Structure 1
Amino acid sequence: MRITCVGGGPAGLYFAVLAKLADPAHEVTVLERNPPGVTYGWGVVFWDDLLDELFAYDRVSAQRIWDAACKWDEYEVRATGKAVTHLAGYGFSLGRHKLLSLLSERAVELGVRVSYRSDLSDTPDADLVVACDGAGSQLRSSAAVHFGTEVSLGRNKYIWLGTPHVFDTFTFGFEKTHAGWIWYHAYPFDENTSTFIVECTPEVWSALELDRLDAAAGCARLETVFAGHLGGQRLIDRGNGWMNFRRVTNQRWDNGNVVLMGDAAHTTHFAIGSGTKLAMQDAMALADALALPGDLPQALERYEHRRRAALAPLQRAALASSEWFERMPEYADLPSTRFSYALSDRRGEYPLWRYLLHLSTQRSVPRAMLRSALSARRWSRARRRPDAEPRVPLLTGG
């Protein structure tokens, strides 16, 4: 089969790897519009469930990702006028550039042709074309009526920045200015750099004149606002500018031999940090669907059915999370512990015992015990991964 992935992000590169592993005779090409090493964003986050799946599908690339990842074992919440609090949980982060480099290297090792600076405007000549060229997909846009594409904009403004200040762990920071509240989502992704996503309501954005300042002046303004969090370090803008989150949905994901994947098919708000995870799980599901008996239309139907079922709860959670941040000022007067718990439970899913656990782990000894338990669980799980059983293609599930 001749397969072309339009877009060299995590979805396209990982599917190319899996397609070659499934059948080395497949002719697999990845087309990317940018030059090598150029990518949007800074770092990505993921959790154990994705790592387990990565090891089950391709142990080689999974081990490289695990080795390169930055590990953190709690969340920290800082807010003007409130004591610092902590949330239970752990995860991993990795520079987006590093992730793409690892996946492209693995793809090339397996015989995939990766072509940079490619024109993505026309549908390639292939048996299967995977449109994984992002939320603004050109391939999808050319047949938007067929796919039933709908795009809605979130209310808040946000900007994706980086900083040489290396945060100890995943940190939420909220600052009250003369214009109102503004906050960041930050996490380290290598020994020298952290992602720093700034978000605020449009009213605060305008009142701070961030709508009128250029990139350098805007970063300088934000450095002043968040001076107490940055340790004297600067903020770096790669030119993406301020945005409103685009929630992309499609009524159907295939059109003949063209199928949507990753952000081209669906987006989830960055506040739950699942974009990369979902894109790579899309790749797994499509690889599984193609491995089962049947023709291409049947395979694409199986793929879409499986992924829609898995996505539904996450999309609801992402919507609830983004709406919480749009209402954030309503929670600002809560005491520190209740405020951070409201942030943690912004999807509205937690039972009472989670609040009791949250209260107890604000004290140093219970918090240290919980972190130790989570750390032991993480490393125990990691030791089991290289011996994971080979995957079996599934008709349903995430």
Structure 2
Amino acid sequence: MKIVCIGAGPGGLYFAISAKLRDAGHDITVIERDPPGATYGWGVVYGEDLLDTLYRNDRESARRIRAESKLWQEQIIGLRDVDKAYLPGYGYSVNRAPLLAILAERAAELGVRVQYETAVEDLAEHADADLVVVADGANSRTRQRYQEQFGTRVDYGNNPYIWLGTERVFNEFTVDFEQTPAGWVWFHAYPSADGISTFIVECTESTWRALGLDRADDAEMRRLLEQIFAGPLRGHSLISQSRGKPASWQRFAQVFNQTWRYDNAVLIGDAAHTTHFTLGSGTRLAVMDGIMLAQYLLDQPETALAVKEFDEAGHAAMRSAQIAARNSMAWFERADRYTDRGAKEFCYAMAGRHGLQSPWRYQRYLVQQNLVVRKASRLVGNGQRWARARRRGEPWR
């Protein structure tokens, strides 16, 4: 089968890997508009379940990704960097640049052609392909060109946010809210590479404008945010550029498509659907799309039927995730309604933003704030990590 994949992000590259592993006879070309190494993000987070899936699907790339990943343990939610509360659990994060390099290298090893600095303006350019996989992100130009055929709707969130980096290493997943005369500003931070953490700043639009962030240039923006977050940053600076142009303020794009297929093309990843960054599931869902589509192509010899089944199953699987994402985004858009309470109550409200909480969960949560219980929870987490790493046959880290 001749397959063209538009976009060399995690979804597109991992689809190419997965399809080649299932049928080495596929003729697959991945086309990317940007040059190699160009990525405008920092770290992405993922959990143990995705790591299990990566090892089952392609042990070689999974091993390399895990070697580049950083572990974070526990979540810390702070108000003014003084009043803090804690949530148990752990996860992994990996810098986007080495992740893409690993996937591109693995795809090439399997015989996939990856063409950089090549733009695709029209699906007609690849009318001879049996399948065109559109994986060029939330701002997909291909999807925009055919938005009527895909039934596309894009809604934008209210809060401005910006992806930055910092040399302050956060060993825990940290969310901290700081009060300014103009309103509350907060960040989401986690480790993403040696000596570097991802640092996502968010606030309401009224606060953003009142602080002058809508008018500030890159240097002014970083200086102001460094002042606001002086306590949590512990004297470290913020980094704007990540192998590309300086970071810019964005509003989250909620992408919905009535169908993911049109003619010989199919959407996957953020081109097909998005979930708010506070869920940390965008990369996971893109990778899962790639695996699922590759499997349907293997199981169903008729390509059109395989894509139809993928479309229907994918839409069904995404419903709960997108509902949770909308709830999460909406909670952060009105987070200042909860900042008049202490960190423990504030943190519990944030943890319950996805739905109703049973009364017993609150009692358990209060117990989890105890230092001894927190240390015991970390030990339990370490045991779980060891057991799952051993089951995968990976070295213990």
Q: Which of 223, 237, 243 is the aligned partner of 2:226? A: 223
Structure 2: segments with no counterpart, 5+ residues: none
Moved more, 347-356 or 296-305: 347-356
Q: Does the 8 A contact of 1:154 with 1:244 survive in 2?
A: yes
1:193-248 Cα shifts (integer Å, max 9, x gaps): 11100000000000100011011111111000001011211112232311111100
Structure 1: segments with no counterpart, 5+ residues: 388-398
- SS of the equivalent of 1:62 reads helix
- 1:42 equivalent in alignment to 2:30: no
**Correspondence for 2:275:** 268
Using the alignment, how far apart are the partners of 1:153 and 1:119 within structure 2? 26
1:53-86 Cα shifts (integer Å, max 9, x gaps): 1111111111111222101121011112752221
For 2:379, the aligned partner's letter is S
- 1:198-347 equivalences under 5 Å are 198-238=201-241, 239-347=246-354
Cα drift, residue 19 of structure 1 = 1.1
- 1:76-91 equivalences under 5 Å are 76-80=76-80, 82-91=82-91
Cα drift, residue 294 of structure 1 = 3.7
The sequence identity of aligned pairs, in percent, is: 48
How many residue pairs were aligned?
387
1:333-360 Cα shifts (integer Å, max 9, x gaps): 1122111111111112433333222211
1:13-69 Cα shifts (integer Å, max 9, x gaps): 001101111111111111111111111210000111111111111111111112221
Q: Kindly tell me: are residues 214 and 67 of structure 1, through their superposed partners in 2, closer, same or farther at Cα, counting changes over 3 Å?
A: same
Q: Does the 8 A contact of 1:88 with 1:358 survive in 2?
A: no
**Correspondence for 1:101:** 101
For 1:334, the aligned partner's letter is R
Cα drift, residue 10 of structure 1 = 0.1
Cα drift, residue 120 of structure 1 = 2.2
Q: Which of 121, 128, 133 is the aligned partner of 2:131? A: 128
Q: Kindly tell me: are residues 8 and 81 of structure 1, through their superposed partners in 2, closer, same or farther at Cα, counting changes over 3 Å?
A: closer
Q: Does the 8 A contact of 2:19 with 2:295 survive in 1?
A: no
Q: Kindly tell me: are residues 354 and 187 of structure 1, through their superposed partners in 2, closer, same or farther at Cα, counting changes over 3 Å?
A: same
Using the alignment, how far apart are the partners of 2:289 and 2:386 within structure 1? 27
Using the alignment, how far apart are the partners of 2:213 and 2:337 within structure 1? 23
Q: Does the 8 A contact of 2:151 with 2:257 survive in 1?
A: yes
Q: Does the 8 A contact of 2:74 with 2:89 survive in 1?
A: yes
Using the alignment, how far apart are the partners of 2:380 and 2:79 within structure 1? 27
**Correspondence for 1:391:** none
For 2:280, the aligned partner's letter is G
**TM-score when normalising by structure 2:** 0.95
Q: Which of 191, 194, 198 is the aligned partner of 1:191? A: 194
1:268-315 Cα shifts (integer Å, max 9, x gaps): 100110000000000011011101134111101111122112111111
For 1:369, the aligned partner's letter is A
Using the alignment, how far apart are the partners of 1:81 and 1:210 within structure 2? 22
Using the alignment, how far apart are the partners of 2:273 and 2:31 within structure 1? 20
Q: Does the 8 A contact of 2:81 with 2:176 survive in 1?
A: no
- SS of the equivalent of 1:354 reads helix
Using the alignment, how far apart are the partners of 1:336 and 1:288 within structure 2? 45
Using the alignment, how far apart are the partners of 1:224 and 1:39 within structure 2? 27
- SS of the equivalent of 2:78 reads strand
**Correspondence for 2:150:** 147
Moved more, 309-318 or 171-180: 309-318
1:70-121 Cα shifts (integer Å, max 9, x gaps): 0112101111275222111111000000110111111011111111111121
* CA RMSD between the two structures: 1.3
Q: Kindly tell me: are residues 305 and 199 of structure 1, through their superposed partners in 2, closer, same or farther at Cα, counting changes over 3 Å?
A: same
Would you identify which runs of 4 or more consecutive aligned residues in structure 1 move more than 3 Å? Answer: none
Q: Does the 8 A contact of 1:69 with 1:190 survive in 2?
A: yes
Q: Does the 8 A contact of 1:73 with 1:375 survive in 2?
A: no
- SS of the equivalent of 1:181 reads strand
Q: Does the 8 A contact of 1:59 with 1:386 survive in 2?
A: no
**Correspondence for 1:22:** 22
**Correspondence for 1:116:** 116
**Correspondence for 2:53:** 53
Q: Which of 181, 184, 189 is the aligned partner of 1:181? A: 184
Q: Does the 8 A contact of 2:15 with 2:294 survive in 1?
A: yes
Q: Kindly tell me: are residues 38 and 272 of structure 1, through their superposed partners in 2, closer, same or farther at Cα, counting changes over 3 Å?
A: same
Q: Does the 8 A contact of 1:43 with 1:96 survive in 2?
A: yes
Q: Does the 8 A contact of 2:140 with 2:271 survive in 1?
A: yes
Moved more, 278-287 or 239-248: 239-248
**Correspondence for 2:369:** 362
Using the alignment, how far apart are the partners of 1:323 and 1:42 within structure 2? 24
Using the alignment, how far apart are the partners of 1:52 and 1:306 within structure 2? 21
For 1:235, the aligned partner's letter is L
- SS of the equivalent of 2:83 reads coil
**Correspondence for 1:169:** 172
- SS of the equivalent of 1:84 reads strand
Cα drift, residue 166 of structure 1 = 0.8
Using the alignment, how far apart are the partners of 2:136 and 2:193 within structure 1? 26
